[in-house]
Amino acid sequence: EVMNFPTAVKSGFRNYATFSGRATRSEYWYWTLFAFLLQAMSSGFGDAISTLFSVGLLLPSIAVSVRRMHDTDHRGWWMIVPIANFVFSVKQSDPNLNRFGPPAPPSL
């Protein structure tokens, strides 16, 4: 299911440290875009603010990456292998129940 930008950001914060379950491709890429834009904007406010944002986004970014790996029926550890992480993150979601749970529910 396709998730829009605001819903993906809300989901990222709602599942701040949730490493179980699945995240759709759109949720992962919208969260990545949000984190990138926030980091880019915060860099203009000085090192302390930029570092604060980096630390604040680290855990949910790892969590959404792990859930994205789960959505393609791969273990979350694959996110630390750059090429595999990219290949799996662009791969279409597994539409069926897999070992990590049911597909992500449709977003509204």
Question: Which amino acid, 106?
Answer: P
> How much of the chain, in percent, has pLDDT values that exceed 90?
81
Q: Is 0.85 topped by the overall pTM?
A: yes
Measured CA to CA, the distance from residue 91 to residue 69 in angstroms comes to 10
How many other β-carbons are positioned within 10 Å of the β-carbon of residue 27? 28
Do 93 and 105 touch, CB atoms closer than 8 A?
no
pLDDT tens digits, residue range 70-108? 999 999 999 999 999 999 999 999 889 999 999 877 654
Confidence of residue 10 (pLDDT cuts 50, 70, 90): very high
Please give the pLDDT value at position 1: 65
Measured CA to CA, the distance from residue 28 to residue 31 in angstroms comes to 5
Question: Is the model's pLDDT at 44 over the cut of 90?
Answer: no
Q: What is the mean pLDDT of residues 17-38?
A: 95
Please give the pLDDT value at position 45: 86
Please give the pLDDT value at position 106: 65
Half-sphere exposure (CA, 13 Å, Cβ side) for 37? 8
Please give the pLDDT value at position 39: 92
